[in-house]
């Protein structure tokens, strides 16, 4: 297998999650969601998080994004405690959430506008990066699902994040578009060198994209396994090692790998 250029070391930020537990308050009763989660993501590393539906994967991303504070434990980015959102940590959701009255260019510029920065050169650059230059003046209703998600990624990348948090960003795409976007996401990561943390329900997607796969238990989620994916890029979906890893991860999730 031929390896390609890996991300530039030092562009992404390190992430440290120490003893993080989190509860939701539901009508005066505590609902435990995360239970003593600890792991580290190295600068420029691509890590995927898998687990049963509702186990707390998206909650974990929200905590790292600084949208919520954990009930207990500590989260660090480059050694500094995460206590609030910051443009260097961007969360991309499953739905593109584009403003329908804004063009692709103006949707992509939102992050810079919020920071009162000049947007045109940087926006044009990221639109080229995600292959949307020819659609810069199109509106969301004129885009395919894949184009809309590329616009969402452009909006995230325009701030040059050191950490990209991905909450099932490809989950609603058709299978062919999803496969294409998986390759494009790896390409963006390789070229930009950001640290990536992906939440997905798709075992094949996690193994195809990530260098490590963290497997969570049922809620309240704890870490069942941290599985390295020791394959270079680009990866071949028919690689026997990926098939072996798929069986291992499905077993950890309590699923049968047989058709």
My answer on whether omega of the bond before 208 falls inside 30° of 0, hence cis, is no
Distance CA 120, CA 124 (A): 6
Write b or e for each residue in 168-207: b if 16 or more Cβ atoms lie within 10 A of its Cβ, otherwise e: bbbbebeeebbbebbebbbebbbebbbbbbbbbebbbbbb
Per-residue pLDDT tens over the stretch 45-101: 999 999 998 899 999 999 999 999 999 999 999 999 999 999 899 999 888 889 999
Per-residue pLDDT tens over the stretch 224-257: 999 999 999 989 988 999 999 999 999 999 887 6
Q: HSE of 156 in the Cβ direction (CA atoms, 13 Å)?
A: 28
Distance CA 184, CA 187 (A): 5
pTM given for the model: 0.89
Per-residue pLDDT tens over the stretch 151-196: 999 998 888 899 999 999 888 888 888 888 899 899 989 988 999 9
Q: Map out the domains of the chain with their CATH numbers.
A: 15-88+161-252 (3.40.50.300)
Q: Are 49 and 199 in contact (CB under 8 A)?
A: yes
């Amino acid at each position: 297998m031929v390896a390609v250029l890996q991300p530039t070391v030092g562009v992404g930020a390190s992430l440290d999650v120490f003893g993080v537990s989190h509860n939701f308050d539901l009508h005066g009763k505590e609902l435990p969601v995360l239970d003593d989660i600890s792991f580290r993501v190295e600068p420029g590393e691509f890590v995927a998080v898998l687990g049963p539906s509702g186990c707390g994967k998206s909650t974990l991303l929200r905590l790292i994004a600084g949208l919520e504070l954990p009930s207990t434990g500590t989260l660090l980015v480059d050694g500094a405690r995460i206590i609030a959102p910051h443009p260097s940590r961007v969360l991309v959701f499953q739905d593109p959430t584009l403003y329908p009255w804004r063009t692709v260019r103006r949707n992509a510029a939102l992050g810079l506008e919020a920071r009162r920065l000049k947007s045109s050169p940087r926006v044009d650059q990221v639109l080229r990066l995600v292959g949307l230059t020819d659609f810069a003046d199109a509106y969301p209703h004129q885009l395919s699902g894949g184009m809309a998600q590329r616009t969402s990624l452009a909006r995230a990348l325009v701030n040059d994040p050191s950490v990209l948090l991905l909450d099932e960003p490809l989950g609603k795409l058709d299978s062919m578009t999803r496969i294409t976007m998986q390759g494009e996401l790896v390409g963006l990561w390789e070229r930009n060198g950001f640290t990536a943390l992906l939440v997905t329900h798709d075992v094949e997607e996690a193994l195809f994209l990530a260098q490590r796969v963290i497997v969570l238990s049922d809620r309240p989620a704890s870490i069942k396994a941290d599985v390295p994916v020791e394959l270079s890029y680009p990866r071949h979906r028919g690689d026997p090692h990926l098939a072996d890893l798929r069986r291992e991860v499905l077993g950890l999730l309590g699923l049968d790998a047989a058709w």
